[in-house]
Amino acid sequence: MFHVELRQFPHVARSFNLSEEELRATLLGPWLRGDVVELGERRWAPERARLTVYEGPRLREDEMGMGRGWSNVARTGTDVTERLLHATRESEGGVAAWLAEFKEEVLAHCATGRIGVHQVAWLANERHPSRRASERLELAEQAVWELLHERRLTMLSAHSGDGEATPVPQSEWEKVLLSWATWADSGGPSVLLERSAGEHA
C-alpha cells in the first residue's frame, strides 16, 4: 500500500492505504502536470508544497489513531517518492505518444471531408475499446483541442435548414467542447471539423 504526505508550512495533510492506481490518478499525475491537488480539505500547489510517498503495509485503524499513523509509516515503510515520480513521468510520456498517434488518425478521417466532433469519440471507442469510457472521451477531447490550437483543424457550426457552416470563434471552442450535446450529437446544432487550409493528407 502507499501512504502520502503533503507539507507546506505550517500545514500538513496525509492519506493512508492508497493503491498505486488511486495514487497515480488522484495525485501523482496531476502533480507532475503542475496542477493543484486536493488533500485533507486543502488545495496544494506542486511549486510550493513538498510531497512524500511511502510504500509499506496496510495500516489498521488502531495504527492510525492518536496521530501515530505517519510515524508507523516511516517505521515500517520505504520512501518511494522519487521512484514513483520517475515511473509516472515515463507513463505520462506513453500517454503523450498515444495522443500523438490518435491525432494523426483524426486528421486522416478528415482527409475526405468534414466530420462531426462526436465522430472523434466514436473513433476513440473503436481504436481503444479496452480503455475506460472516461479515458476514451478524454482522448477525443484532448486530440480535438490540440489540433484546433495547432491550426490543423477548423471547427464549424452547421446551421440547420440552410446547410451552411460557419467557423466557430476560438473564444467559444472550450464552451463547445465542454458541452455534452457536442459529443452526444443530441439534436443541437451540429459541430463539424475539417482540415485547415494548408494541412495536407
* Separation between Cα atoms, residue 188 and residue 172, nearest integer Å: 16
Tell me the whole-structure pTM to 2 decimals.
0.54
Q: Are 176 and 191 in contact (CB under 8 A)?
A: yes
CATH 1.10.3510 fits 95-195, yes or no: yes
* Separation between Cα atoms, residue 123 and residue 140, nearest integer Å: 8
Give the pLDDT means over successive 10-residue stretches in the chain (201 positions).
Answer: 94 93 85 84 90 93 82 92 83 69 92 91 86 82 93 86 80 92 74 80 44
Instruction: For the chain, give every residue range classified as CATH 1.10.3510.
Output: 95-195
